[in-house]
């Protein structure tokens, strides 16, 4: 098998057979001419069902995650919704991380619940707490690792054993780590989910999602529902994500380099009470992170000695860091999870500390990133 960077650039990306175009074109078409009734060219019939630009992305992402099938959607949430509606029935139960991505929490607790799905939050960093949350009706164990925004680490291999015992699927949201840093399917996960809006797209110019599986039968069921539900990635969006994936490896290396320098600065700063980064030896998930990740990513969170207002002030004072939700793009972003991405979790089991600041460390010149952070911290 070719190396990661080679697959990122070539998997599913053969030059166009008609013109030799090196990059697969954006097939902006809804339908396909048939050579006689039922005479489909390469199986293409209607673009909700399949489109060559989307196929190129789906093959590439499957090759990067080491799966047999990739499926591309209009957003990460569309991918998650299609997955849940494929594998769950009324009466089923889901174990979700107690600091799950807010949209995932909302989809399961507010939308799926009305369709008869029950759920239990668990601290996924603790295998015992996930095991304790499992019930006879559990069909899905949902894991994010590292988690958002607390950067907790879940042991994918250990949780895959819990899922096997429970006859449940282990779903891993690999958005933060990306396949360059972590390969959940190789550790026993059944499904990988991405918001490709983040590192996979990587340029903050597209919203998208993917699912990747190893099992061909599950892949077929998901493809059936992808077509039946219709929340597909359009050809231009699929093309943007494919373009992003080609540079994923070099971008992730730089995100990691810059994040490590940011962590060093924060650790020495007197106004910072705690730095959350899986690469730190004192991080409770460090040993597991070392086992399952090649590096520790571009997301860094920290807490301020002086509480909530100090955290909000840092966000307001940052200038090179853009104050914005989302993450994983080339530009550095800063946010206050308690009032922004995780505001909807206030008062729930998923509430985050008020003195917390989350950084998505970009790939600008590292000295500029550090200087901005220094002035913002005051």
Ligand X SMILES: *Cc1c(COP(=O)(O)O)cnc(C)c1O
- Residues forming contacts to ligand X in the complex (CB under 6 A) are 75-77, 101, 103-104, 144, 148, 173, 175, 195, 197-198, 207, 209
CB of 73 to ligand X, least distance (A): 9
Task: Indicate the SS3 state at residue 290.
Answer: helix
Whether the ω angle into residue 146 lies within 30 degrees of 0, i.e. cis, is yes
CA 167 vs CA 69, 161, 173, 293: distances in Å: 21, 10, 19, 26
Neighbours of 203 (CB within 10 A): 15
- CA–CA gap between residue 250 and residue 257 (Å, rounded): 11
β-bridge pairing 191-195 and 169-173: parallel
Minimal CA–CA distance to 143: which of 175, 118, 111? 175
Annotated catalytic residue, options 48, 85, 317, 339:
48
For ligand X, the closer CB: 125 or 272: 125
Q: Is-catalytic flag, 101?
A: yes
CB of 94 to ligand X, least distance (A): 15
- CA–CA gap between residue 121 and residue 351 (Å, rounded): 12
CB of 143 to ligand X, least distance (A): 11
Annotated catalytic residue, options 101, 180, 199, 277:
101
For ligand X, the closer CB: 24 or 209: 209
For ligand X, the closer CB: 32 or 197: 197
Minimal CA–CA distance to 256: which of 306, 290, 312, 298? 298
Annotated catalytic residue, options 81, 92, 155, 173:
173
Annotated catalytic residue, options 54, 198, 295, 303:
198
Q: Which residue is nearest to ligand X (CB)?
A: 76
For ligand X, the closer CB: 154 or 310: 154
Q: Is-catalytic flag, 198?
A: yes
Q: Is-catalytic flag, 173?
A: yes
CB of 212 to ligand X, least distance (A): 14
Q: Which active-site residues does the annotation give? A: 48, 101, 173, 198
């Amino acid at each position: 098998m070719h190396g990661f960077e080679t697959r990122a650039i070539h998997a599913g990306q053969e030059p166009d057979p008609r013109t030799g175009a090196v990059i697969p074109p954006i097939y902006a078409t809804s339908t396909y001419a048939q050579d006689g009734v039922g005479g489909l060219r390469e199986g293409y019939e209607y673009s909700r069902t399949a489109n060559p630009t989307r196929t190129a992305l789906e093959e590439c992402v499957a090759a990067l995650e080491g799966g047999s099938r990739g499926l591309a959607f209009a957003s990460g949430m569309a991918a998650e919704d299609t997955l849940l509606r494929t594998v769950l029935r009324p009466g089923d139960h889901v174990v979700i991380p107690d600091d799950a991505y807010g949209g995932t929490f909302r989809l399961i607790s507010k939308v799926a619940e009305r369709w008869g799905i029950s759920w239990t939050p668990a601290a996924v960093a603790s295998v015992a707490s996930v095991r304790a949350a499992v019930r006879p009706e559990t069909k899905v164990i949902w894991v994010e690792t590292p988690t958002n925004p607390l950067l907790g680490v879940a042991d994918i291999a250990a949780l895959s054993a819990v899922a096997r015992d429970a006859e449940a699927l282990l779903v891993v949201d690999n958005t933060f780590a990306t396949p360059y840093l972590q390969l959940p399917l190789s550790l026993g996960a059944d499904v990988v989910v991405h918001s490709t809006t983040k590192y996979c797209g990587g340029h903050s110019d597209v919203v998208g999602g993917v699912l990747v599986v190893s099992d061909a039968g599950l892949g077929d069921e998901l493809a059936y529902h992808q077509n039946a539900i219709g929340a597909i990635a359009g050809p231009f969006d699929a093309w943007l994500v494919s373009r992003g994936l080609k540079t994923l490896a070099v971008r992730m290396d730089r995100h990691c380099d810059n994040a490590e320098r940011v962590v060093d600065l924060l650790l020495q700063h007197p106004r910072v009470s705690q730095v959350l980064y899986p690469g730190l030896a004192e991080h409770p998930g460090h040993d597991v992170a070392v086992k399952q990740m090649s590096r520790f990513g571009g997301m860094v969170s920290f807490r301020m000695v002086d509480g909530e207002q100090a955290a909000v002030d840092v966000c307001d004072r940052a200038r090179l860091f853009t104050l914005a939700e989302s993450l994983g793009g080339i530009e550095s972003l800063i946010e206050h999870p308690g009032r922004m991405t995780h505001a909807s979790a206030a008062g729930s089991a998923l509430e985050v500390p008020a003195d917390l600041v989350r950084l998505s460390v970009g790939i600008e010149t590292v000295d500029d990133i550090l200087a901005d952070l220094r002035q913002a911290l005051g």
